[in-house]
Amino acid sequence: MPQHDEKLLSQLKELLTSPLTMREIVSRLNLAKEEKSRIRKKIREFTLSGAIVRIRGARYGLPEKMNLVKGVVQGNPGRFGFLIPDDENEEDVYLGPRNFDIVMHGDRAVVRIESTRDDGKRQGSVIRPLDRAHETVAGTYQPIRLGGYLIPFDPRISRDILIPQGFDMSAIEGQAVVARIVDYPSRKCPVTGEIIKILGDPDDPKVERELIVAKYDLKSIFPEKSVTEAVRVAKPPTKKEVGRRLDLRQHTVVTIDGETAQDFDDAVEVKKLGGGGWSLGVHIADVSHYVKEGSSLDKSAFARGTSVYFPGTVLPMLPFELSNDICSLKPKVDRLTLSAIMTLDSNGSVQKCEVAESIIRSSERMTYTEVANILEEGTKPPSLASLVPMFFNMRELAMILRERRLSGGSLDFDLPEPCITLGEDGFPEMIAPTPRNVAHQIIEEFMLTANRAVADYLIKRDYPALFRVHDDPDPVKIESVRKLLATFGVTIPKEIKIRSSDLQAIMEKLAGAPEQRLATTVILRSMAKAKYSKDNTGHFGLAFDHYVHFTSPIRRYPDLVIHRLLKDLLKKERRAGYWNDALDKIGANNSISERNAMEAEREMVKVMQAQYMSEYIGESYDGIISGVSSFGFFVELLDPPVEGMVRLTSVTDDYYRYEESDQALYGEKRGKRFRVGDPVRITVVSVSVKLRRIDFVLEGSDTGLSRRKTAKPKFGRKEKKRRRR
């Protein structure tokens, strides 16, 4: 918020000791005549953001003085939901069914607290929506006599959307479609829309992808102006540009990425120095040279915020002319970079960091597997002989950095993500844990070190920055963690404020123990969400006092912003006032777009896991209980890495009592226990791709299936079909 707006809002907060009309506000502010119109407009803008609330009688007041709460509506398929307050320290507010006559899942709204139970749970009513979350909604079309309905695929949008006659694009029953909302819901009128795109059969893998793109309002097509601009600027560097940069083309630098990567935005080099020290160079694609502030490319990148990665495809933040070509640090070609060249002592502490606009020529495009084979298997490809010593130096430095980071309290959960291989038909052919090796650790440690060093560089020069921050865990959640850990002999004194090093020590203590999975799960659930902010509050999870994102400007907008801040300093163009205003909006926008992208990626994985498991109904697997609730427990299979649920209705040997503090279910008669981390063997009984749901029963239960089979580990979809032939 600009400083003059903050000043006005501060004045209004002092003035509004009770609700006032617009005329009373303007009169008491003692404004000049020419200022009155502007101030009225600003006050109305404040009501749109929820900073000030307009109530009955055309009076304006402060929400916090009227038992009002602002936040985001989280819907539930049962036509109720919650308001998640903007203030993370406030408890959620329950919203009954009638509230969803005027708001939808995802909307920002103002809610009046109507009652508070003895346990502190609050119930409220929506006063008015502030921001609508959805311009379009994806779902299936259901025709009626005079029009039809769109039934949203997102079950949290609990109201069907009326499609008036003539606005259905001739869609037929059951087709997947996208509708633009014409009228949002109100007490008197339903939500109405018009179909703008017919996607096709909901079971088609390509349609599922399009549905998720529409559901999360992702951008799959670049504006024509942005593409034209990308083609125009994607030219090799000129002699003049090369001449003014630090020339590192004779340095031995390499990129190390996954086998299928197309955008190489970081290159690294390591040298041993005398006295046991190190030189670490991290060279990042200079995207800011091509994407100028305020350009069409910049606007589309800001709107996207991040690239979105689905199995087999990506929705890039920048057009391919940039992300996969001129900004990609391909081998043996000149590329413009922004370099952080660090000098470290023998303990891995950064003693000096120099930042420079540079030009490099990558010596080789390496993959994680190739580097790991050299370091762990001893392979020595003749073509890479000159690089092998540097890879061993990289490993040595990375292990020093990793040990230093972990000893400083940095959390290291290291939970494997599923790696999904698609067949030619677009369906998942194989699901396995994403491999992680020493090469992954090398790049991770180098990127963390560079990000931290760049944050320090900006702070020492007293310049604004867009920090990556991670707040301390919620004390209430940490108290639950304390109680649970105490049940298996791990104590955290109540009088001690929890530190990341305390949690890391707990995980190290429980490494290999049956309780490790449970401890990891409850600690993760206690964590706050990381976000972007101009206010440096530190990063709890990494145990860093300061941290920014500098290393991936091809796929993250905040990294691009950090590059611009660094260039201000390099060119001695200090714009602190501009950045102090701009970073609030950039941080808020990118925190939201990042979470949105993560949710979309997770849902796409769930879709493909369901598609994959739909061919294995009736087969049995070993798994670990990954979550417990009052209605059942989640099980993560060991192979393939897929999660499903065992519902209590299928466990008929006893009545079970849910103990939230233990994350467990206990049988009332036999005392049998189902707890997070316990091993179980299950049978797959049903799959719903539409609901993203996989249902299990305990092996030996009556499944109702005509036959059961035991799964053979690690064979894929096509291989299985071949065996059946």
Cα separation of 234 and 240, whole Å? Answer: 16
- Claim to verify: residue 283 and residue 399 sit in the same structural domain: yes
- Claim to verify: residue 238 and residue 297 sit in the same structural domain: yes
pLDDT, residue 3, reads: 58
Listed as ranges, residues in the chain with pLDDT below 50 are 707-725
Residue 95 within any structural domain of the chain: yes
pLDDT, residue 55, reads: 72
Exposure string over 410-446, b if 16+ CB within 10 A, otherwise e: bbeeeeeebebebeeebbbbbbeeeeeebbbbbbbbb
CB 358, CB 339: distance < 8 Å: yes
- Claim to verify: residue 588 and residue 642 sit in the same structural domain: no
CATH code at position 24: 1.10.10
- N-to-C CA span, the chain: 66
Amino acid in the structure at residue 408: G
- Claim to verify: residue 684 and residue 554 sit in the same structural domain: no
CATH code at position 188: 2.40.50.700
Number of domains in the chain: 5
Per the DSSP assignment, residues forming a β-bridge with 539 are: 470, 544
pLDDT, residue 4, reads: 63
Cα separation of 304 and 323, whole Å? Answer: 14
What are the structure tokens assigned to 538, written together?
């530190």
Residue 484 within any structural domain of the chain: no
Show the beta-strand stretches assigned E in 362-397: 364-367
pLDDT, residue 521, reads: 78
Exposure string over 477-495, b if 16+ CB within 10 A, otherwise e: ebebbbebbeeeebebeee
- Claim to verify: residue 301 and residue 400 sit in the same structural domain: yes
Nearest Cα residue to 517 out of 679, 390, 656, 330: 679
Per the DSSP assignment, residues forming a β-bridge with 533 are: 467
Q: pLDDT tens, 233-266?
A: 999 999 999 999 999 999 999 999 998 888 899 9
Residue 582, Cβ neighbours under 10 Å: how many? Answer: 18
Q: Which residues contact 610 (CB under 8 A, 6 or more apart)?
A: 687, 688, 689, 692, 693, 694
pLDDT, residue 8, reads: 78
Q: At what angle do helices 576-613 and 296-304 cross, to 10 degrees?
A: 50
Q: Phi-psi region for residue 473, left (φ > 0), alpha (ψ -120 to 50) or beta? A: beta
CATH code at position 89: 2.40.50.140
φ, ψ dihedrals at 364, nearest 5°: -160, 145
- Claim to verify: residue 360 and residue 229 sit in the same structural domain: yes
Amino acid in the structure at residue 56: R
- Claim to verify: residue 268 and residue 313 sit in the same structural domain: yes
State which H helix or E strand residue 372 sits in: helix 368-372
Residue 363 within any structural domain of the chain: yes
Residue 494 within any structural domain of the chain: no
Cα separation of 293 and 560, whole Å? Answer: 10
Residue 606 within any structural domain of the chain: no
Q: pLDDT tens, 40-64?
A: 888 887 776 677 777 777 787 777 6
Q: Which residues contact 332 (CB under 8 A, 6 or more apart)?
A: 361, 362, 363
Nearest Cα residue to 619 out of 683, 686, 698, 687: 683
Show the beta-strand stretches assigned E in 184-277: 192-200, 246-247, 254-257, 266-272
Residue 235, Cβ neighbours under 10 Å: how many? Answer: 9
- Claim to verify: residue 251 and residue 321 sit in the same structural domain: yes
Q: Phi-psi region for residue 67, left (φ > 0), alpha (ψ -120 to 50) or beta? A: left
pLDDT, residue 297, reads: 97
Residue 508 within any structural domain of the chain: no
Cα separation of 458 and 546, whole Å? Answer: 10
- Claim to verify: residue 443 and residue 567 sit in the same structural domain: yes
Peptide bond before residue 640 is cis, with ω within 30 degrees of 0: yes
Residue 73 within any structural domain of the chain: yes
Cα separation of 56 and 50, whole Å? Answer: 16
Nearest Cα residue to 354 out of 273, 283, 255, 404: 283
Q: Which of 202, 235, 258 marks a domain boundary?
A: 202
- Claim to verify: residue 441 and residue 329 sit in the same structural domain: yes
pLDDT, residue 198, reads: 94
Range of the domain at 304: 224-465+548-594
Q: Name the residue with tokens 């590059």.
A: 563
Exposure string over 179-203, b if 16+ CB within 10 A, otherwise e: bebeebbeeeeebbbbbeeebeebe
Cα separation of 286 and 326, whole Å? Answer: 10
Residue 504 within any structural domain of the chain: no
CB 21, CB 14: distance < 8 Å: no
What are the structure tokens assigned to 134, written together?
């959805």
pTM: 0.84
Amino acid in the structure at residue 84: I
- Claim to verify: residue 126 and residue 250 sit in the same structural domain: no
- Claim to verify: residue 252 and residue 400 sit in the same structural domain: yes
Cα separation of 153 and 207, whole Å? Answer: 12
